[in-house]
Amino acid sequence: MRNFWLEGQIEGRKSMVTGGPTTKEGTMRVDIKVKEKGKSVTALTIVCIPDINLNLNNIQIFNGAGTLLQCMIFDTEEVK
């Protein structure tokens, strides 16, 4: 399994939008955009960053102004 994986459903598409980094060191950024007053603006940005040395995956969620809304840390160490 990859360190991060995106699955999304969009009306009108027959297949899901899916994907993730190709390596365990890979990062991922997803921008969710909306139309506001006739212009495309970023509503949310999701940033996924692995820390291979500490066996952690860090997911940060920012609003359109770049303010951090949430930070989540996940332990990637396999349970034996």
Per residue of the chain (80 residues), what is the pLDDT tens digit?
A: 688 999 999 999 999 999 999 988 899 999 999 999 999 999 999 999 999 889 999 999 999 999 999 999 999 888 77
The verdict on residue 67 lying in a domain is yes
Using CA atoms, how far apart are residues 69 and 61, in angstroms rounded to an integer?
6
The verdict on residue 5 lying in a domain is no
Q: Which residues constitute the domain of residue 34? A: 25-80
The verdict on residue 71 lying in a domain is yes
Q: How many domains does the chain have?
A: 1
Q: What is the pTM of this model?
A: 0.87
The verdict on residue 47 lying in a domain is yes
Which 8-state DSSP code applies to residue 79?
P
Q: For 63, list phi and psi in degrees, rounded to 5.
A: -85, 180
The verdict on residue 6 lying in a domain is no
The verdict on residue 80 lying in a domain is yes
Using CA atoms, how far apart are residues 58 and 19, in angstroms rounded to an integer?
17
